[in-house]
Amino acid sequence: MDRSTGSERVLVIETEGALPPARRRRRRPRKVAVDDAPVTVTISVVTVVRADEPFGSSTEADEWMRRTEDSEFLDDLLSDAVGTLDRARAADAAASGVPFGTPTSVSSLLTARVGYGEGEQVASGRFLDALEVDARGGTGGVRRERAARTRPLARTAAILGGKEKPAGCELLLPRIRLDLAQGNGHAAAMTIRVAVEATIAELEFALDDEDHESDLDLLEELLPGLGDLESKAIAGELGESDLERIEGALSVAERITRRRRILDQ
């Protein structure tokens, strides 16, 4: 049960093709035949139930299903689902001490279904009626096009080849965005000031652009207001206004790094 965002979500996770328990001792290596079958992989089937949005009738549910023809509505549904999953992954990371790495991408889903059902059905990952949707398609959407434009392979190759080093803020800002998305405001509060300072220092002369300079000036104005967030987070005293300050500064810093990636292509 996830209530961290103010909405009530129920997460059901099933494992198909689960491997047998690990052996205490590793088997000896053996020769692989040319016709050996591919390795079987485990697949997780995740169902996210929007428990706080029940339908009053089957007609209302059918009307909701028809809205999935709107790509923006469908994108929001899929993003909400993977967001719920990642908040669970983050909670598990905190409980187990195993770091939570890459957030789930909608485009990484093997298949996706949108549907509705009764209590016991959805609690076991089943539907009364459902549609299979193309989660990996829709790359022409505005948000996905923007994301694609800001991930140039040439720069990735340059960083891997040692010809260029990523700025520290480019590593810090996505982490803070992930923390906010998962409801971990205290973690975001502990690093936002450093990330903003790094953005100003590292990218001050990155572009000769009026909007770039204007955003840097705005970031400098916001910086003093971030000074007390770390101590408030440690004391457990963060409020809604503090999260709004983090979001405001983060959005400006993200815009600066995003503009740099786009204009550098």
Give Cα 263 distance to the centre of its chain: 24
Quote the number of domains for the chain.
Answer: 2
In-domain check, residue 31: no
Domain ends where: 73, 99, 133?
133
Give the sign of the dihedral formed by CA 189, CA 192, CA 194, CA 197: negative
Torsion of CA 193, 259, 183, 81, to 10 degrees: -170
Domain ends where: 80, 103, 133?
133
Q: Average pLDDT by consecutive 10-residue portion of the chain (265 residues)?
A: 73 77 73 71 86 89 91 89 86 75 81 88 84 72 51 72 86 89 90 96 91 95 94 94 96 92 70
> Could you list the residue range(s) of the whole structural domain that residue 101 is in?
9-18+36-133
Q: What is the pLDDT of residue 230?
A: 93
In-domain check, residue 146: no
Q: Are residues 108 and 160 in the same domain?
A: no
pTM above 0.85, yes or no: no
Q: Are residues 81 and 14 in the same domain?
A: yes
